[in-house]
């Protein structure tokens, strides 16, 4: 493949690895599979980087293995690898392919069987005792068999697997654990993505399979002796200082002044240093949106090459001056929330910063602010476009849509808009069928049913609602107070009002939470409502709890239902732009 990260002959993808070795063994007493949701989220982010065009390939590090004699009575030569380091990655990719096979089988069983032959099982051969391409450690084999039993069930591929030799490792270890849990997480993720565009499900599955098997790479370090593993680990895990893009850029800027130390020092002290210092440690995040504004097809892996190409022939001061016009717009959307000369634009930017907008919108907002600073668009237009962007982002957050796919939307959106107005912005979003802009009904439904108290957007919504009420606007960030406590104590006052089912459903609804200062929140905990109500009125610096205490004499399922309607109507009025 031409887009490998390294120039090493030993860089491979999953497809290359299973082609390179007949069978991959994880040492029998190796620790069990331990990857959880955090590591899966990172892997899914890598997959999305490739799918959205940010990267061609994602590098997953090094796999350390050595060739071992093949045990068994198989006819013909068999090549076996023993994994010294990398079992978590390899086993994750293997079960990811299994999950894709399960999903593809519901559309085309023959295609699913072909994938089993290609990636999951060895070709039939006399004398084989185990035919899976990966043989897990003892601790994971029972879970491994349970996953295979699922694939080999009548509803999936049992009739087709009769055509191949399926011999599984003997069961050992617990029947429950992280391997089985991870497989179920992967399945849930795949099915949730298919629900967005069901008409193209099979194509989506094929695309994901191609990324998992072909676009996630690693360097395969082949040991001549397993005893060398310790030395390898010492070097691989040495805690060196990471070289960032800003270091590469700095070197590039000053490369031409290597023979002119006096001028280099002048440029560094008076031009570069103030420029870099203004980022307050966030310079690393500037260069990618800066490059995307110049060429929306830039990938992160090509970032430095793109910078060098765009600066060819420029003097150091010219390179810095080329970046400077976009520094202010970057800082405005990244951290300051401030636009010089406009209180209204600054208010919108501040809200987007507090909302923790995804980085994918940076090129769009930076381009907009640059045009405003050049007087190419009016303040009113910027305000309307930022309001529309906030409505788009907040509605998606309320409904629970991840920012997956937004990079492809926003990386070149400003240049693609024929007219810079809200109608054109909505038209551009609508033209992308896989990107949802939730309707009023979607937002109301999420506020009625979704556990928004656990969502990242909850704190922002509570502050915005509090500021919409008449009263003070405290400068500090609140904590989230559950009026109905998160734990329903037996025999408590709360247990007399809410049954277990009502508590499970209602405790994390938006209607059941209010903003409070940390000390007040900690002191209340699971106090009865009459205690909370009195202290809300007397001690809360936020308006919301005081207003709630005045409006509801008691707190029960009916109260939560009533407040849910109030909040749902407020939310669609507060973020009214939709398509």
Structural domains in the chain (count): 3
For residues 98 and 197, the model is more confident at 98
Burial tier of 512 (Cβ tally within 10 Å: 0-12, 13-18, 19+)? buried
Q: Which domain holds residue 556?
A: 442-574
- Clarify whether residues 209 and 66 are in a common domain: yes
Q: What is the pLDDT of residues 59-113, one digit of tens each?
A: 888 888 878 766 656 656 778 888 878 889 999 999 999 999 999 999 999 999 9
Q: What is the pLDDT of residues 380-425, one digit of tens each?
A: 999 999 999 999 999 999 999 988 889 999 999 999 999 999 999 9
- Clarify whether residues 519 and 375 are in a common domain: no
pLDDT at 561 over 90: yes
- Clarify whether residues 286 and 210 are in a common domain: no
- Clarify whether residues 408 and 307 are in a common domain: yes
- Clarify whether residues 163 and 17 are in a common domain: yes
Q: What is the CA radius of gyration of the chain?
A: 28
Query: 216 pairs with which residues across the strands?
Result: 58
- Clarify whether residues 223 and 290 are in a common domain: no
- Clarify whether residues 267 and 168 are in a common domain: no
Q: Tell me the two tokens of residue 128.
A: 């084989």
Residue 271's closest CA among 315, 334, 330? 315
Phi, psi (5° rounding) for residue 88? -65, -45
Residue 3 lies in a domain: no
- Classify 471 in phi/psi space as left (phi over 0), alpha (psi -120 to 50) or beta: left
Residue 369 lies in a domain: yes
**Would you say 91 and 145 are in contact if contact means Cβ atoms under 8 Å apart?**
no
pTM: 0.75
- Clarify whether residues 383 and 324 are in a common domain: yes
Residue 461 lies in a domain: yes
Residue 221's closest CA among 67, 331, 372? 67
Query: 68 pairs with which residues across the strands?
Result: 80
**Would you say 253 and 287 are in contact if contact means Cβ atoms under 8 Å apart?**
no
Single out the residue in 437, 459, 488 at which a domain terminates: 437
Q: How open is the CA angle 532-535-539, to the nearest 5 degrees?
A: 140
- Clarify whether residues 429 and 469 are in a common domain: no
Residue 518 lies in a domain: yes
pLDDT at position 70 is 62
- Clarify whether residues 218 and 151 are in a common domain: yes
């Amino acid at each position: 493949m031409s887009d490998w990260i390294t120039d090493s002959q030993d860089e491979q993808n999953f497809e290359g690895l299973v082609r390179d070795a007949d069978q991959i063994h994880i040492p029998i007493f190796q620790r069990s599979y331990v990857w959880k949701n955090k590591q899966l989220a990172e892997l899914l982010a890598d997959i999305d980087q490739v799918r959205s065009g940010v990267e061609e390939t994602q590098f997953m590090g090094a796999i350390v293995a050595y060739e071992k004699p093949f045990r068994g009575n198989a006819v013909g030569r068999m090549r076996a690898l023993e994994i010294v380091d990398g079992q978590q990655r390899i086993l994750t990719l293997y079960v990811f392919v299994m999950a894709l096979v399960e999903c593809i089988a519901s559309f085309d069983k023959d295609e699913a069987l072909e994938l089993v032959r290609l990636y999951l099982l060895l070709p039939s051969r006399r004398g084989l005792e185990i035919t899976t391409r990966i043989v897990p450690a003892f601790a994971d084999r029972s879970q491994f068999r349970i996953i295979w039993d699922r694939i080999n069930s009548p509803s999936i591929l049992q009739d087709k697997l009769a055509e191949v030799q399926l011999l599984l490792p003997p069961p050992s270890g617990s029947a429950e654990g992280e391997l089985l849990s991870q497989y179920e997480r992967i399945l849930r993720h795949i099915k949730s993505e298919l629900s967005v565009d069901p008409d193209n499900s099979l194509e989506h599955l094929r695309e994901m399979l191609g990324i998992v098997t072909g676009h996630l790479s690693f360097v395969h370090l082949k040991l001549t002796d397993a005893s060398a593993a310790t030395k390898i680990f010492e070097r691989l895990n040495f805690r060196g200082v990471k070289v960032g893009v800003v270091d590469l850029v700095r070197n590039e800027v000053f490369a031409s002044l290597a023979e002119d130390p006096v001028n280099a020092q002048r440029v560094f002290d008076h031009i570069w240093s103030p420029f870099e210092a203004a980022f307050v440690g966030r310079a690393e995040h500037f260069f990618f949106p800066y490059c995307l504004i110049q060429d929306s097809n830039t990938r992160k892996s090509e970032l430095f090459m793109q910078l060098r190409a765009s600066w060819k022939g420029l003097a150091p001061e010219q390179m810095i001056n080329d970046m400077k016009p976009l520094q202010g717009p970057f800082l405005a959307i990244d951290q300051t929330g401030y636009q010089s000369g406009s209180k209204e634009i600054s208010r919108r930017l501040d809200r987007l910063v507090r909302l923790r907008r995804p980085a994918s919108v940076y090129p769009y907002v930076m381009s907009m602010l640059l045009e405003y600073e050049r007087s190419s668009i009016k303040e009113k237009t910027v305000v309307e476009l930022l309001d529309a962007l906030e409505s788009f982002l907040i509605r998606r957050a309320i409904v629970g849509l991840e920012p997956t796919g937004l990079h492809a939307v926003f990386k070149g959106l400003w240049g693609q808009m024929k007219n810079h107005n809200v109608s054109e912005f909505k038209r551009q979003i609508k033209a992308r069928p896989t990107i949802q802009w939730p309707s009023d009904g979607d937002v109301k439904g999420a506020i009625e049913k979704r556990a928004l108290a656990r969502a990242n957007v909850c704190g922002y919504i509570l502050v915005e609602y509090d500021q919409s009420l008449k009263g003070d606007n405290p400068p500090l960030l609140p904590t989230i107070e559950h009026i109905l406590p998160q734990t329903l104590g037996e025999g408590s006052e709360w247990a007399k009002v809410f049954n277990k089912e009502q508590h499970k459903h209602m405790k994390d609804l938006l209607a059941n939470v209010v903003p409070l200062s940390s000390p007040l929140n900690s002191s209340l905990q699971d106090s009865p409502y009459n205690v909370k109500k009195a202290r809300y009125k007397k001690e809360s610096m936020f308006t919301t709890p005081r207003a709630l205490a005045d409006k509801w004499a008691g707190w029960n399922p009916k109260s939560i239902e009533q407040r849910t309607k109030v909040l749902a109507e407020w939310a669609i009025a507060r973020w009214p732009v939709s398509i």
